[in-house]
Amino acid sequence: MQRVGMLRPNEILEDREGVLHIDGVSALELAERFDTPLYVMSERRIRNNYRRVYETFSKRYRKVKVYYSAKANTNLSILKILEEEGSCLDAVSPGEVFLALKAGFKPERILYTGTSVRDDELRFLSESGVTINVDSLSQLRRLLKISTPETISVRVNPEVGAGHHEHVVTAGRESKFGIWEEKVVEAYRTALEAGVKHFGIQMHIGSGILSVEPFTVATENLLKIANRVHEEVGIGFEFIDLGGGLGVPYKPEEEELNLDLLAEKVTALYREMVEQYGLGKPTLCVEPGRYIVCDAGVLLTRVNTVKVTPFKRFVGVDAGFNTLIRPAMYGSYHPVVVANRLNEPGEETYTIVGPICESGDILAKDRMLPRIQEGDLIAVLNAGAYGYSMSSQYNSRPRCAEVLVMDGEYALIRERETLHSLLEGQHYPPWLK
């Protein structure tokens, strides 16, 4: 693996005579062929990241399922890659279920976990045959009025939350997600009395976690709750789902999540407590999303303006927070390189900004980069997760295209929207001429 600028080694990124290549394809060629902004995804990296997670856990515990958290990136081609790998899928909306089915996932490989779910959505999910992981007693009772599924799971709030930003912490006292322990027993008893025959239990504590301890503490809490349900309701579990949240490093100083240590500690604790509580041999499930697609993605964006003020050097590019919202929404850091000047040293400190009419439209702040000129190509790295999936048409800007690369080949996997795309679905009322 070749180091590119300040980047960590990555099998898909390569410096060829100062030009960034992504899985064997020139970033300059892709930008010229498909225009910018442009999301570029590496099939090789997606497959290898998935295999790393599955193999790391499955060699320590025999019954393991990996559920790809689709909200990170729902492009049909990416879903199809993971379907071919044997992944299961974690969906959080009827739309994600719909896309997963279109990509070839069988309903039994899809787990739906939603919050504030409508009755018509519950009906669609029930008819689709996916496993539903209920988030509230209200949702459970409304579901049981529609149908009685063979299998139901309950999302538990294990009282432990973690994540890279307060907006992505999904457990603990401030979280809207999951059922607290004192109501969990009631949920399972209600489902059992309604005729549900098989059960799972699930948690999710947050996103972008780089340390092992939050996972082990939450796993212990979840298994204690599972044991209480087992003892008080008299049911067993087909699966116990530890959720996702496996983080990836964005900043140069951040250490990678020690996946081997995480799997070792979690599976050892899991085996010990499952055996201690007599819970049988339930399948252990994990739900990585970011970990699988984040560093498989690069956002290419063209420099259109270099503006120097008495206080700042601004680089204006054609991607804004309509294209990548994470820096504006979470204060997130993404590594950036000048894709056509990799072999040039950093000379100036620049702030990279987009075309959106907002002061918060900043992709990267105060970065030391080679001397930038209009027409240069900027590559925003680690952009495969929550990039396109959180993009929008804000400021009436059409969404960008997506390309898949693999071993020197490339293909368009999502067309660029046009100005006419902005008109789709809009109608004048009859009183307007």
**In this predicted model, what pLDDT tens digit does every residue of 253-290 receive, in sequence order?**
999 999 999 999 999 999 999 999 999 999 999 999 99
Mean pLDDT of 422-426: 96
* 4 pLDDT more than 50: no
pLDDT at 179: 87
Mean pLDDT of 21-27: 97
357 counts as catalytic: yes
**pLDDT of 50-79, one tens digit each?**
999 999 999 999 999 999 999 999 999 999
| Percent of the chain residues past pLDDT 90, beyond the cut | 86
pLDDT grade for 174, boundaries at 50, 70 and 90 = low
pLDDT at 59: 96
Mean pLDDT of 364-375: 97
Sheet bearing 13-16, strands edge to edge: 13-16, 19-22, 25-26
Distances (CA, A) of 47 to 53, 81, 139, 292: 10, 7, 35, 8
Mean pLDDT score of the chain: 93
* 168 pLDDT more than 90: no
Mean pLDDT of 417-428: 97
Q: Look up the CATH number of domain 114-288.
A: 3.20.20.10
Mean pLDDT of 372-398: 97
> Which tokens is 9 given?
């080694």
pLDDT at 223: 94
Per-residue H/E/C for the chain: CCCCCCCCCCCCEEEECCEEEECCEEHHHHHHHHCCCEEEEEHHHHHHHHHHHHHHHHCCCCCEEEEEEHHHCCCHHHHHHHHHHCCEEEECCHHHHHHHHHCCCCHHHEEEECCCCCHHHHHHHHHHCCEEEECCHHHHHHHHHHCCCCEEEEEECCCCCCCCCHHHECCCCCCCCCECHHHHHHHHHHHHHCCCCEEEEECCCECCECCCHHHHHHHHHHHHHHHHHHHHHCCCCCEEECCCCECCCCCCCCCCCCHHHHHHHHHHHHHHHHHHCCCCCCEEEECCCHHHHHHHEEEEEEEEEEEECCCCEEEEECCCCCCCCHHHHHCCCCCEEECCCCCCCCCEEEEEECCCCCCCCEEEEEEEECCCCCCCEEEECCCCCCCHHHCCCHHHCCCCEEEEEECCEEEEEECCCCHHHHHCCCCCCCCCC
| 130 Cα distance to chain centroid | 20
pLDDT at 1: 31
- Greater pLDDT, 174 or 420: 420
pLDDT at 160: 59
Q: 143 near 128, Cβ under 8 Å?
A: no
pLDDT at 9: 57
Backbone φ and ψ for 405, nearest 5 degrees, come out as -120, 150
* 320 pLDDT more than 90: yes
Mean pLDDT of 417-432: 96
pLDDT grade for 167, boundaries at 50, 70 and 90 = very low
Q: Which residue has the tokens 């290419």?
A: 300
> Which tokens is 59 given?
């060699």
Mean pLDDT of 85-104: 98
Q: At what angle do helices 181-193 and 137-146 cross, to 10 degrees?
A: 10
Domain ranges of the chain: 13-42+294-423, 114-288
Which of 88, 294, 357, 400 is the catalytic position?
357
**pLDDT of 109-149, one tens digit each?**
999 999 999 999 999 999 999 999 999 999 999 999 999 99
pLDDT grade for 433, boundaries at 50, 70 and 90 = confident
**pLDDT of 322-344, one tens digit each?**
999 999 999 999 999 999 999 99
pLDDT at 173: 57
| Percent of the chain residues past pLDDT 70, beyond the cut | 94
pLDDT at 171: 45
Q: Look up the CATH number of domain 13-42+294-423.
A: 2.40.37.10
* 13-42+294-423 and 114-288 agree in CATH topology: no
